[in-house]
């Protein structure tokens, strides 16, 4: 089987922990591993090939996390803009033999029962080999209103149902014929494409054109922006599964969670004897059944019951756990106000390393920048700011205009506004610098790239 790993989700219901530049699938929540890493490891022995479909901005974040778990033989489809799951899956399938059996898995789901998962995959593969489109139905543990449902009779899917209200959800659970829609699928690449061509020909034809014009380098496929933008956005459920007569379901009791809310996350993380998230940074006084997330500050709670406190360096969320589905409303308000808090965490991964914003004020910003051995930033200039670089450790190779020189620990250099420049680490240890930006505008979009090793 070929495992298509979908990495397009933004995880807005887990804000402020999850941001568009560090979505929930890449946050290392479980024993130092992310949901993305756990997805890769869970499927790598069951599938001959793994194919990561991600936004182009998350490519190097995915590469770093793959290296951490020793997974290096991967294929990539890098989308310059997301068009939902139906086009993403179609673009990947167009790069596969028609008879290839494809297992589609989101990268942000948790599976606890691996033995049951393996059995479900084998059942799905057998059905897929008979030219069926297979979905995995999760046996509901309660009347969940945050999930879509499907009604089944044996292996046949009768209908898909959108997220219900509480009353309907209870009716579905009581009937015994309904399952949660997991978002996992299994089918032959050619069968899926034929069904897509029949049900949504506009999507199919646009995807074919997109792949014909894509830039392909080894294991990396890069569709062009103008072609991606011409593809109608639609989910696999709406575009294909709800219209096809070939849909089968594999009922699955696999310890599954989509971790789509803080309430769901609270149920999966270790808890202390009071039901609070087991964290050393939490001091609990008569506090019970609370989700407490903090990596930096000590959090003290008194007489707190069934609440969530999510502390990040630049934003704090406090709410009842029962209101965790409303977090997206906060994100919507931030989006309307133009806030960067929905996009950028304090520490941002880059292909050459990472940077951490230490101070952000009017007309000035201070960053800690780490450049990995062999890494270098793009040859670039800024129109609205100057930069002062102080080397903390390692040795910086600096280009300014036509000059190239080294800057050692406790030495500094200055980059004027409009100066063409580059920072590079030619050493064998991390280069750490402090960057002080001064200017009328210090936004991340004030970068004019002239050359870039990473094709940004």
Domains of the chain: 2-257 (3.90.550.10), 262-326 (no CATH), 347-451 (2.60.120.10)
Cβ atoms of 299 and 311 closer than 8 Å: yes
Residue in the structure block whose two tokens are 């049900």: 199
Task: Name the nearest CA neighbour of 312 among 9, 102, 22, 45.
Answer: 22
Over the stretch 45-82, which tens digit does the pLDDT of each residue have? 999 999 999 998 888 889 889 989 998 789 999 999 99
CA distance 60 to 9: 16
Q: In whole angstroms, what separates CA 117 from the centre of its chain? A: 22
For 234-286, the DSSP string reads --HIIIIITT-S-EEEEEE-S-EE---SHHHHHHHS-B-TTSSB--TTEEEES
Q: What are phi and psi of 231, to 5 degrees?
A: -85, 125
Q: What are phi and psi of 9, to 5 degrees?
A: -65, 145
CA distance 351 to 412: 24
Over the stretch 155-194, which tens digit does the pLDDT of each residue have? 999 999 888 888 988 989 988 899 999 999 999 999 999 9
- pTM summary value: 0.87
Element (H, E) at 194: helix 189-199
Beta-strand relationship, 307-312 and 291-294: parallel
Give SS3 for 96: coil
Residue 16, preceding peptide bond in cis (omega within 30° of 0): yes
8-state DSSP, 6: E
| Full pLDDT tens readout for the chain, 456 residues | 999 999 977 778 899 999 988 899 999 888 889 999 999 999 999 999 999 999 988 888 898 899 899 987 899 999 999 999 999 999 999 999 999 999 999 999 999 999 999 999 999 999 999 999 999 999 888 888 878 899 999 999 999 988 888 898 898 998 889 999 999 999 999 999 999 999 999 999 999 999 999 999 889 999 999 999 999 999 999 999 999 999 999 999 999 998 889 999 999 999 999 999 987 789 999 999 999 999 889 999 999 999 999 999 899 999 999 999 899 999 999 999 989 899 888 888 888 999 999 999 999 999 999 999 999 999 999 999 999 999 999 999 999 999 999 999 999 999 999 999 999 999 999 999 999 999 999 988 899 999 998 877
């Amino acid at each position: 089987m070929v495992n298509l790993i979908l990495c397009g989700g933004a995880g807005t219901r887990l804000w402020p922990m999850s941001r568009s530049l560090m979505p929930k699938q890449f946050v290392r929540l479980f024993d130092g591993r992310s949901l993305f890493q756990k997805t890769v490891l869970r499927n790598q022995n069951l599938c001959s090939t793994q194919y990561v479909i991600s936004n182009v901005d998350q490519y190097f974040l995915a590469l770093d996390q793959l290296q951490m778990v020793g997974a290096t033989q991967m294929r990539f489809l890098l989308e310059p803009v997301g068009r939902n799951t139906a086009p993403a899956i179609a673009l990947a399938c167009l790069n596969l033999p028609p008879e290839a059996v494809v297992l589609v898995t989101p990268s942000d789901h948790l599976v606890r029962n691996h033995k049951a998962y393996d059995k479900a995959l084998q059942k799905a593969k057998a059905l897929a080999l008979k030219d069926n489109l297979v979905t995995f139905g999760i046996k509901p543990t309660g009347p969940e209103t945050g999930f879509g449902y499907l009604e089944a009779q044996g292996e046949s899917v009768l209908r898909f149902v959108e997220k219900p209200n509480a009353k309907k959800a209870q009716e579905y659970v009581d009937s015994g014929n309904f399952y949660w829609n997991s978002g996992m699928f299994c089918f032959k690449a050619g069968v899926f494409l034929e069904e897509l061509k029949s049900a949504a020909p506009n999507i199919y034809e646009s995807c074919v054109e997109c792949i014909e014009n894509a830039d392909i380098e080894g294991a990396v496929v890069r569709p062009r922006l103008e072609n991606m933008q011409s593809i109608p956005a639609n989910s696999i459920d709406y575009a294909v599964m709800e219209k096809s007569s070939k849909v089968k379901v594999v009922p699955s009791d696999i310890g599954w969670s989509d971790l789509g809310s803080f309430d769901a996350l609270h149920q999966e993380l270790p808890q202390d004897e009071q039901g609070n998230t087991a964290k050393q940074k939490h001091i609990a006084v008569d506090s019970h059944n609370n989700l407490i997330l903090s990596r930096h500050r000590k959090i003290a709670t008194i007489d707190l019951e069934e609440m969530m406190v999510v502390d990040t360096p630049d934003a704090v969320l406090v709410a009842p756990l029962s209101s965790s589905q409303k977090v997206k409303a906060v994100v919507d308000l931030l989006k309307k106000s133009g806030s960067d808090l929905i996009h950028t965490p304090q520490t941002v991964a880059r292909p050459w390393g990472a940077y951490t914003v230490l101070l952000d004020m009017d007309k000035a910003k201070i960053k800690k920048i780490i450049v990995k051995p062999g890494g270098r930033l793009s040859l670039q200039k800024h129109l609205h700011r100057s930069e002062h670089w102080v080397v903390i450790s390692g040795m910086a190779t600096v280009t300014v205009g036509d000059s190239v020189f080294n800057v050692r620990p406790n030495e500094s250099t200055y980059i004027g506004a409009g100066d063409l420049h580059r920072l590079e680490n030619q050493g064998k240890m991390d280069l750490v610098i402090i960057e002080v930006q001064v200017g009328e505008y210090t936004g991340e979009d004030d970068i004019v790239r002239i050359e870039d090793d990473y094709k940004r």
